[in-house]
């Protein structure tokens, strides 16, 4: 943009034309993204319970109730724990996997495609499949593990970790693929140079691969964190938030409040809160990415 200088008249016309060109995209974005968010915020400021036929402005009352709502804090804690553990484990597993897939060996293409299978299966289907694997009486997992049978989805503590396992199984390949793309952007020449200089493989991994891969890692973390924070389908199929809400995430709480109870006001408050958390997380990542850019 800041290259050649144009005559002022043509500049203005060009700018107008640019606005016109982006206008359809902006319109669509406003229609499908901005409007629903504003509508949810608007709803969250009302008491709106359908069975009541009641719709009344209450200002920030719903938010005040939320701060004292133990179930909300429980759901927030579950969501945070789920996101932190799942994404960390996924990164730790995906990095070696990506390095492996990046090396040349026969059948690499087939392997690259086949690691994506868990990712390609619809979440509800794979969650249902895992629910049977976890079944305490005839599930495969208890058969394979020694020791007494564990009631994976029925005991607090186990259930959330079982859900994390399912998420890790499903999305590690996706993360690995994102990292693989980053790895392929690193020139082979610098490794050659490092070898000439006598650097060990570990040394070149720590001093070259990791720093050069950092933008890709951050991007992969951004995608996965936002996704994990909104987790709904896998956990809903596995436990519906049970036992005793120990696996209830913010999305599940919001869904139950909105769609089962018909409490649209408070349900919207919970949705807006989830949205704000996600915005906060992405701002942190974008700032980190921005630093990388510079």
Q: Rule CB under 8 A: which residues touch another protein?
A: 20, 23-24, 49-53, 71, 135-138, 149, 151-156, 159, 239-246, 248, 256-257, 259-263
Nearest distance from C-beta of residue 82 to another protein, angstroms:
17
Nearest distance from C-beta of residue 60 to another protein, angstroms:
17
The helix/strand/coil state of 72 is: helix
- C-beta closer to another protein: residue 154 or 215: 154
- C-beta closer to another protein: residue 102 or 135: 135
Nearest distance from C-beta of residue 68 to another protein, angstroms:
11
- C-beta closer to another protein: residue 215 or 242: 242
- C-beta closer to another protein: residue 151 or 282: 151
Check if the beta carbon of residue 48 is closer than 8 Å to that of residue 273: no
CB-based burial label for 41 (10 Å; 0-12, 13-18, 19+): middle
Nearest distance from C-beta of residue 134 to another protein, angstroms:
8
- C-beta closer to another protein: residue 171 or 269: 269
Q: CB pairs under 8 A, 24+ apart, for 273-279? A: 273/66, 273/72, 274/229, 274/230, 274/250, 275/37, 275/40, 277/76, 277/79, 277/229, 277/250, 278/226, 278/229, 278/230
Helices vs. strands in the chain: H and E counts, helices first: 15, 2
Nearest distance from C-beta of residue 157 to another protein, angstroms:
10
Q: Which residues pair with 57 in a beta bridge?
A: 46
């Amino acid at each position: 943009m800041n290259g050649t200088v144009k005559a002022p008249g043509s500049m203005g016309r060009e700018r107008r034309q640019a606005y016109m060109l982006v206008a359809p995209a902006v319109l669509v974005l406003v229609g499908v993204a901005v409007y629903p968010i504003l509508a949810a915020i608007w709803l969250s400021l009302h008491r709106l319970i359908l069975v009541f036929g009641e719709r009344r402005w209450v200002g920030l009352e719903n938010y005040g109730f939320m701060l004292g709502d133990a179930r909300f804090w429980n759901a927030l804690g579950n969501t945070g724990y789920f996101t932190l553990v799942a994404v960390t484990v996924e990164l730790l597993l995906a990095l070696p996997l990506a390095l492996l897939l990046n090396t040349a060996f026969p059948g690499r293409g087939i392997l690259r495609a086949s690691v994506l299978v868990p990712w390609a299966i619809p979440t509800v289907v794979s969650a249902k499949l895992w629910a049977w694997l976890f079944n305490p009486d005839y599930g495969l997992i208890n058969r394979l593990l020694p020791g007494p049978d564990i009631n994976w989805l029925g005991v607090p503590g186990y259930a959330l970790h079982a859900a994390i396992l399912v998420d890790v199984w499903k999305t590690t390949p996706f993360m690995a693929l994102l990292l693989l793309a980053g790895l392929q952007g690193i020139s082979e020449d610098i490794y050659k140079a490092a070898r000439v200089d006598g650097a060990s493989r570990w040394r070149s991994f720590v001093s070259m691969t990791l720093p050069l891969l950092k933008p890709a890692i951050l991007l992969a973390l951004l995608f996965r964190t936002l996704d994990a924070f909104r987790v709904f389908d896998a956990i809903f199929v596995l436990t519906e938030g049970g036992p005793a809400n120990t696996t209830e995430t913010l999305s599940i709480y919001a869904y139950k409040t909105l769609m089962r109870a018909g409490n649209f006001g408070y349900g919207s408050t919970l949705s807006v809160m989830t949205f704000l958390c996600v915005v906060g997380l992405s701002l942190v990542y974008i700032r980190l990415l921005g630093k990388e850019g510079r």
